[in-house]
Amino acid sequence: MRALAPGLSQVPMTSTVHVFNGPNLNLLGKREPEIYGRETLAMIEARLRETCTARGMSLDFRQTNHEGELVSWVQEAGLAGEPVILNAGAYSHTSVALHDAIKAARASVIEVHLSNIHAREGFRHRSLISAVAQGVILGFGAASYELALDAVLSGRVTTKPDTRN
């Protein structure tokens, strides 16, 4: 077991892992399949759910096209001390609000992208999430999500204790 900084704890194996998806990811499967692949978000969710169930963990998997909704979800998960796998889609490149929410709620975030954003258009090269994420996994298609879940399940993600009360 690795040593952790004071105030940090390893994610308990019985807790919830959140997977939050931003705009246009509801169109996965149909959307630019040469970039994002042919798997739908429901297929990705089903695979992650199978893994979580086998490990006695509950999965909270959601998608929204609305920035404020993502902000609220990140705040809730962060304040609850639960890890977040976040593909914020295009908001990764623009959302100061999401950056602030991760910081404010001290959320433990693994940023994921299906595509390698650094090999694409210049406006995708900068992510406002990366600096406040614990780690970033990108470029492995749908497997980016599985690699992120593996990081959570193997105890590589640190969370703060519940600060809601």
**Using CB atoms within 10 A of its CB, is residue 16 exposed (0-12), middle (13-18) or buried (19+)?**
middle
Q: Please identify, among the stretches 59-67, 76-84, 111-119, 156-164, the one whose residues bind ligand DQA according to the rule CB under 6 A.
A: 111-119
| Residue sitting closest to ligand DQA (CB) | 89
Q: Identify whether 36 is a catalytic site residue.
A: yes
Q: Does 89 bind ligand DQA (CB under 6 A)?
A: yes
Q: Does 86 bind ligand DQA (CB under 6 A)?
A: no
Pick the binder of ligand DQA from 27, 43, 79, 90 (CB under 6 A): 90
Pairing of strands 109-113, 84-87: parallel
Q: Does 114 bind ligand DQA (CB under 6 A)?
A: yes
Q: Does 147 bind ligand DQA (CB under 6 A)?
A: no
Do residues 63 and 29 make contact, with C-beta atoms less than 8 angstroms apart? no
Q: Does 113 bind ligand DQA (CB under 6 A)?
A: yes
Q: Identify whether 113 is a catalytic site residue.
A: yes
Out of 36, 91, 99, 145, pick the active-site residue. 36
Q: Does 99 bind ligand DQA (CB under 6 A)?
A: no
Q: Please identify, among the stretches 2-10, 39-47, 87-95, 153-161, the one whose residues bind ligand DQA according to the rule CB under 6 A.
A: 87-95
Residues labelled catalytic: 36, 113
